[in-house]
Amino acid sequence: MKITQLVILSLSFIAQTVSATECGVMQFKADKSRGVQVLKNNCQNNRGVSLGTDFKLLPGARLWLKSGANTDAGRHFEVICQNRSQTPVSINVSTMFIPWIDPTGLNNCSGWIDNKLICDDLQGNHQRFYCVIAAIAEPDYSTTRTIERTTSVKLRKINPGSQQPVTMQVVAPALTPEIELCRDLYEMTLPVTVKWFFDTSGHVLEADVDFENFDKQPLFADCVQTVVKTFAYPLISQRHSYTYRY
């Protein structure tokens, strides 16, 4: 989906958003970000982001942002930025409209082409700062089930009778959009294999990621591992392990 299409999709989301002086423009995904300092944020909670917020990305840092859910389309937007330069980069939340953010102090930015922004750093090094954006569908395993949300792979214990188990054949593909966002950011096409392990109650205990002989891509590897480890898993019907190739 191109950036112009994303703009159209975002209009109905904007209509539901709070005013410019309040929180809710974006959510800062601290569990998925690395090396980011949040400045001038008027929100009182730990995740909401207000207009005028500055993000300072240290060298090697990754910023991960998420919009609120679009109730009409069942989708939300996610933005990932990676600083590959040797100096800090500042990102400002400058507008309520997609793509929300504006990098400052960078040279020769491409503009948003095919949902990607690429900039040179101040030292003249080419393509040292990347951002990508995508519309991502909310997982919908069943309208009658409540998914247990968590910030780690190991889920909190819940009443087994409160959920009907879901098969990994249904759950595993739900990680694809965020893994593809990692691919777009780091321009990777090689396959990734994930193996999940469950306890006897159907809760995810841990997940291993096999990058199949491309260990020289640590940024991409960390991005995918973050997606796998922070996904909000429902109760799973498998009782041992499950493997899926992306």
Q: Two tokens at 201?
A: 């109650």
Q: Counting beta carbons within 10 angstroms of the beta carbon of residue 21, is it exposed (0 to 12), middle (13 to 18) or buried (19 or more)? A: exposed
**Token couple for 124:** 């003249």
CA distance 207 to 120: 36
Residue 193 pLDDT greater than 60, yes or no: yes
Give residue limits of the domains in the chain. Answer: 3-135, 142-245
Spatial contact of 155 and 233, defined as CB atoms under 8 Å apart? yes
Q: Which position has the higher pLDDT, 57 or 20? A: 57
**Which whole number is the average pLDDT over 177-199?**
91
pTM over 0.85: no
224 three-class SS: helix
- pLDDT of the residue at 71: 52
> From CA 187, how far away is CA 94, in angstroms rounded?
27
Model confidence over 116-171: pLDDT tens digits? Answer: 999 998 788 898 999 999 999 888 775 433 334 333 344 333 333 445 788 899 89
